[in-house]
Structure 1
């Protein structure tokens, strides 16, 4: 058994990344792959000493000594510093166990960045900004669902791990430790088991809440299409704020960017108010508000709309008017019905008002966002603004979920955009990326947004 994580989730090119690794093997080595349109082997480390270490509590920094639920001492996981790659991008460290005599003891899958162990993901940022577009990985969301080994916390036995979906009560945690989750532990995109791994996607067998399900395919598409982008994590956005975004015209997020801190949201709002742009090719975006207890541990404290600042104000739409789709119970596909087909977003698609795209791809789901609108008014629909959606938000496509028996609030995903200094585009569905492989309309709309706003 071998697990590890990158202590610096997003080092600068030419800097240092420290891998924290625990293994019962006498030796291990690191094979480093760059993730783009496939995996490219970049380097291999020499054999390194293998040292075993117990798992810590999910809210601990596993690189520091800690205390278990029964008061037992937990040693820090061993550190293995190494130079960060010179080329920016997304990287996965594949951890290969050795027998101590120079031979591999395990043969981890090197064809994918995904894995329940033996892998660690990190982003290499450029030494200085080098593109007009910044793509952000949702590190907080990855860890919100991260159960490490897949064994959920059991208060009766005090065994297993917790995530933000099965938190212990405060009195069950020693020393009054806030029962949040930390970033310094295995997981964070790969190398561990998501809480909802059994909530499978019948159209994509890769686990949700991991890099390979949404972000990986989007990053691969960007590489195939030749888009120059810099990358970061939302931890960078939290720590650096609006200063991080100043060199860029466009911030891009995709898939499931669910967990946002005050600092993250304020930074994007300031970026847009100052004329910068943002594009969200995902759903359930900015749903939970989180607070950090220290540099690496955070908890969720409520929904943004319950905090008096509905997410619609920034991103234009909300999960309150979209909802979650259980594809086993609701197999009827949903696509977007076009309105305002003459808008630049639709340029080159050939789509006309009233036509539907994305139906074959089951584009709307598994979670989607919408703006409240009056269904009785008939198309083209316009937002009522009752839910906090900006009055200038233009609904370009409606994915009606009610007809297939699911949805929250108004029960419809609404793809669209608004301008308030800069422009904010929202595709309003987590599974938008699926269409990049098979839907010319989805691919052209995505390119139109990147070309116009980036």
Structure 2
């Protein structure tokens, strides 16, 4: 069965509402994204029926019954499903990413699916299809600021690609829907359980793109393994600026595919950097397209999201983050229905070539000037951002060859940036990794460039929150093998 949150974010310890599929008999489980790839069951949470939803205790577990029956609802309307209320009744519930699971049960409360049987016995669950179709992503804000990092989960982007109800901002060739400019935020699929027209990622087939498990979950696992605390928010919190006060943090994190921003989001981040905050971007196609929420007041409910244009004027998001997808490129594959759908999904082996090996970003990596990393792992793409043709002060630390045959056809880059060249000495700094696939390689210990990506990430995050450098010692020749192999690939690419 399908569910969705009335609001994707809530304050840790306070109740939140979940809308549930009509005409369903079900039970609820709550899980959390932690150190492991699988989600971990959370206890100490009470679920209450609301409105026309009824509840009955069956063998020690509550069984809920939602009224009515399923009827078609458009992608650009509030689905208006009946709701239940979830109340974390434990003071130990922390800020983080949580997953609500609804599983159908029989007349005695017995789970009817394998997902339900695992959830009912509190076993770990991987939030990928088909299990993710019965889940909803909710982000717990801190009761009060408790860390140096504000991690922003991009709910806007997740809904932009979600064609449940017959449409989204993109044509969905699999489900035969056409592009639109208005989508509902009150429907399933805002981070988990989406309907997608995307090709399967040939380099990570376990989870689909445009979903929490594919992007954010990986980076959250890295942060927890490093022992680095974060406070979690949604981009709706960033838009409002009420529950989230960026001035309370030293660093904001943007990960994966943080594409859709409002003007308010941009202005708050610009002000944060101007006042000394740092922005770490481990995302690609970042801040590329403008949206708004119609006439919803800043502190009101956000129900509808409108795409305002194909891009910001002159790709001017590069004035904030240094790079733009408009100067980079992407490679997705080709849609051929008669040939079985998406084909040619693979990308060329293109990596980043180091231009300033002595920079602090590369400390402890062993990389040398002119060497290339990430090629065999396809670290570059499926979308990658590039430097504007007119110098804007971005310091290119590594870049790619020209992305011939890719969408846009520019070149990718990564580096550091200060948005205001004449600004106060106290202004913060931006690191921009420029690629959607950073988190994938970061958490793939089999990737040849994993140790390099891991160390760069550690360098950036620790510096931006004021921690001393930490270099993980490598007691083998793996790193030299990486850079030598990648350099051979780069030379071959240039010779073609």
The TM-score bracket by the shorter chain reads 0.7 to 0.9
| SS state at 1:416 partner | strand
Q: How does 1:114-129 map to 2 (within 5 A)?
A: 114-115=128-129, 117-129=133-145
Partner Cα separation in structure 2 for residue 241 and residue 361 of structure 1: 40
Partner Cα separation in structure 2 for residue 449 and residue 270 of structure 1: 21
Aligned to 2:414: 415
Choose from 333, 356, 379 the match for 2:349: 333
Partner Cα separation in structure 1 for residue 168 and residue 403 of structure 2: 31
| SS state at 1:422 partner | coil
Partner Cα separation in structure 1 for residue 160 and residue 196 of structure 2: 9
Q: How does 1:163-312 map to 2 (within 5 A)?
A: 163-166=168-171, 180-196=182-198, 199-205=199-205, 206-240=207-241, 244-293=245-294, 294=296, 295-306=302-313, 310-312=316-318
| SS state at 1:18 partner | strand
- Note the alpha carbon deviations across 1:406-435, whole angstroms, 9 max, x for none: 3525x2111011124110110001001122
2:91 matches 1:80: no
What is the deviation of 1:14? 0.8
Aligned to 1:442: 453
TM-score (norm 2): 0.76
Partner Cα separation in structure 1 for residue 346 and residue 142 of structure 2: 43
Aligned to 2:40: 40
- Contact preservation (8 Å) 1:311, 1:317: yes
Partner Cα separation in structure 2 for residue 365 and residue 331 of structure 1: 8
What is the deviation of 1:304? 3.9
What is the deviation of 1:53? 3.9
- Note the alpha carbon deviations across 1:381-400, whole angstroms, 9 max, x for none: xxx42xxxx22x10000122
- Contact preservation (8 Å) 1:129, 1:230: yes
CA gap of 1:60–1:334, structure 2 versus 1, over 3 A, is: same
Aligned to 2:339: none
TM-score (norm 1): 0.83
| SS state at 2:412 partner | strand
Partner Cα separation in structure 2 for residue 372 and residue 18 of structure 1: 44
Q: How does 1:13-162 map to 2 (within 5 A)?
A: 13-25=12-24, 27-38=25-36, 39-43=39-43, 46-51=62-67, 52-63=69-80, 77-84=81-88, 86-108=93-115, 111-115=125-129, 117-148=133-164, 161-162=166-167
2:435 matches 1:429: yes
Partner Cα separation in structure 2 for residue 104 and residue 407 of structure 1: 46
Aligned to 2:468: none
- Contact preservation (8 Å) 1:164, 1:181: yes
- Contact preservation (8 Å) 2:255, 2:283: yes
| SS state at 2:438 partner | helix
Q: What is the number of residues matched between the two proteins?
A: 398
- Contact preservation (8 Å) 2:13, 2:87: yes
Partner Cα separation in structure 2 for residue 407 and residue 105 of structure 1: 45
Partner Cα separation in structure 1 for residue 214 and residue 315 of structure 2: 30
RMSD of aligned alpha carbons: 2.1
Partner Cα separation in structure 2 for residue 446 and residue 144 of structure 1: 28
Partner Cα separation in structure 1 for residue 245 and residue 356 of structure 2: 34
Aligned to 1:70: none
Aligned to 1:151: none
What is the deviation of 1:179? 5.7
Show structure 1 runs of 5+ residues with no match. Answer: 64-76, 149-159, 168-177, 374-383
